[in-house]
Amino acid sequence: MSRPQYAGNGGNGMPDKNTIEMLIDQALSMMDRSYIPYSNFAVGAALLCEDGSVYTGCNIENAAFTPTICAERTAFFKAVSEGKTSFKAIAIAGGADRIPDAMTSPCGVCRQVMMEFCDPADFYVIMAAGRKSCRVLSLQELLPLGFGPGNMKIRPLGHES
Ligand code: THU
C-alpha cells in the first residue's frame, strides 16, 4: 500500500451545514460508547470519507494508561483498515461525565495521524460544543508546518498515480 500525495483543491471542500450537523450528531452519539473508567472524559468522533461514507470512533482507555486510544484515531484506523484512503472532515464531541458542554480539540498525536492521511489545507476538523455551537478549522490551522508524507516525498495512501 503506498502513501499519500494530496489531491487537495486549495481548501474549498469544507462540508456544508447539513453535513456538519450530521457528523456532529454521530460524534455525540459515539460518546455513549466511550470506555472511560480512568478519566471519565468521553469523546466521540465521526470521520467523513471522500466517497461520502462515515466512520465513527470513541476513546478506549486502558488500566496501563498508555494503550489508551483517542476517538479520532479509532475512527481513522477503522476507516483505513476498511480500505478508505481519502478524507474530507472529522467531527469531535467530548466532555466529562459524558456531557458535551465544551469544545474538545484533538490531541497532538491525533493531529499527526490526520497529517498522514489528509491534505492539511483541505481537511476540516469540526469541534462541537454539544449541538449549540461548533468551530471548524483546517488541519493546517491546527498543525502549522506539520511534518507529513509530503516532506519525505512519499505519495499518500490512495493517491499513488
Ligand atoms: N481524548 C480523545 O479521545 N480525543 C481528544 O481529542 C482528546 C482526548 C481522550 C483520551 C482519554 O481517554 C481522555 O480523552 C482524556 O484525555
pLDDT tens-place string over residues 122-148: 999 999 999 999 999 999 999 999 999
Residue 72 known to be catalytic: yes
pTM: 0.91
pLDDT of residue 74: 99
pLDDT of residue 13: 83
Of the listed 50, 72, 141, 160, which one is catalytic? 72
- The binding-site residues of ligand 1, defined as CB within 6 angstroms of any ligand atom, are 36, 39, 41, 43, 59, 61, 68, 70-72, 92, 104, 106-107, 110
- The kind and range of the H/E element at 123 are none
Task: Return the exposure string of 39-58: e unless at least 16 CB atoms fall within 10 Å of the residue's CB, then b.
Answer: eebbbbbbbbbeeeebbbbb
Residue identified by cell 476538523 is 125
Q: What does the domain layout of the chain look like in residue ranges?
A: 5-151
Q: What pLDDT band is residue 8 in, cutting at 50, 70 and 90? A: very low
36, 60, 65, 70: which to mutate for ligand 1, most atoms within 8 A of CB?
70
pLDDT of residue 3: 44
CATH number of 5-151: 3.40.140.10
Ligand 1 mean position, distance from CA 115 (Å): 18
Residue 161 in this model has a pLDDT that exceeds 80: no
Residue 33 in this model has a pLDDT that exceeds 50: yes
pLDDT of residue 6: 44
Smallest Cα–Cα separation from 50: which of 108, 90, 109? 90
Ligand 1 mean position, distance from CA 9 (Å): 31
pLDDT of residue 12: 67
Residue 10 in this model has a pLDDT that exceeds 70: no
Q: How much is the average pLDDT of 8-22?
A: 80
